[in-house]
Amino acid sequence: MALEASALIAPVGELAPDLFDSSDPAGNTATRVEALLNAAPAGITDAAKAAWIYARMFRAKANELAALPASMSVDGESQGFARHQIDHFRTLATQWQAVYDETTAADVVPTPPRSRSVRGKVVW
C-alpha cells in the first residue's frame, strides 16, 4: 500500500498540524504533505519517503522561525522566540535527513567506471 499523508500527520505521524498550519496560508498541513509526497524522489521506499518529508517539513519550520524577529509586540501582545526552538526543529530535520540517507544508501547501485586505460602499441 502506498504511503498516504494521513500516516505522517499526528496522531499517527510526527507532524502536528498546530505547528505547521500557522505558517500555511491555506492552513492545511495535509495539502503540504500531499505535495511533498508527489515531489518525493521516485523509486524509494515508503520509509525513505516519510523520512524525506519529515526532514523537509522540519527544516521549513526551522527556517520559518529563524526568519522571525526574536521578539515582537503587536497591540500590546508580546511574542518571543528562543534560539532553542529553532535548534529543536533543525535537529529534527537533521535526524530525519540521516534516516533518509541511511535508508536510501542501500538503494544506490555501484556502477563500474565507464572508461579505463589500456596499454597498447600500434605498429604501421
Q: Which pLDDT tens digit goes with each residue over 40-69?
A: 998 899 999 999 999 999 999 999 888 888
Q: Which amino acid is at 47?
A: A
Distance of CA 88 to the CA centre of its chain: 14
Cα–Cα distance measured from residue 13 to residue 32, given in angstroms and rounded to the nearest whole number: 14
> Percent of the chain beyond pLDDT 70?
87
User: And the C-alpha cell for 70?
Assistant: 526574536
CA dihedral for 95, 97, 98, 99, sign (positive or negative): positive
Residue 23 confidence (pLDDT) above 70 = no
pLDDT in tens, 85-116: 899 999 999 999 999 999 888 665 666 667 77
Degrees to nearest 5, angle at CA 52 with 54 and 81: 35
d(CA 54, CA 61) in angstroms, rounded, equals 11
SS3 74: strand
pLDDT at 107: 62
pTM greater than 0.85: no
Q: Kindly state the average pLDDT of the residues 60-86.
A: 84
Q: In the predicted model, what is the mean pLDDT of residues 7-16?
A: 94
